[in-house]
Amino acid sequence: MLGFSIVTGFYLLGMLLQTALHIPIPANVIGLILFTLSLFLKLVKLEWVEDAGQFLIKHMLLFFTPFVVGTMVFFHYIGENSMQLLVSLFASTFGVLIITGWSAKLFKGKEKSRNESL
């Protein structure tokens, strides 16, 4: 029970910070960042939250149930637009891969030229 209290506390702390400071990041992300920092800084021991984390991971499928039900409700719309969805899915995937590759190549080239000039 302690683990769930700690995880919930960090979520609520993230919600409080997001609301009070008007941070444009979701509250759960803020809470997760604070929780991760607390683990790295040894403010929270892993043993305290390990059982709660294992329970949540074990039952993760329950968190996706609303998404699956929502998909089934709109299944006929997905079927009608399947070609557009597939084309956009593949185009965006390959676009991200290509841009990431070009960016990595560009930055690696700049790094090489900087190291050679030193």
Binned at pLDDT 50, 70 and 90, residue 53 comes out as confident
pLDDT at 69: 78
Reported as a pLDDT band with limits 50, 70 and 90, residue 37 is very high
Residues 6+ apart with CB under 8 A from 26: 18
Q: Is the pLDDT of residue 118 over 70?
A: no
Closest CA to 8 of 26, 33, 35: 35
* Mean pLDDT value of segment 80-98: 95
H-assigned helices in 22-81: 27-40, 46-58, 61-73, 75-80
What mean pLDDT do residues 42-52 have?
91
Rounded Cα–Cα distance for residues 45 and 47 (Å): 5
pLDDT at 99: 96
Residue type, 13: L
44: which 2 tokens? 């929270």
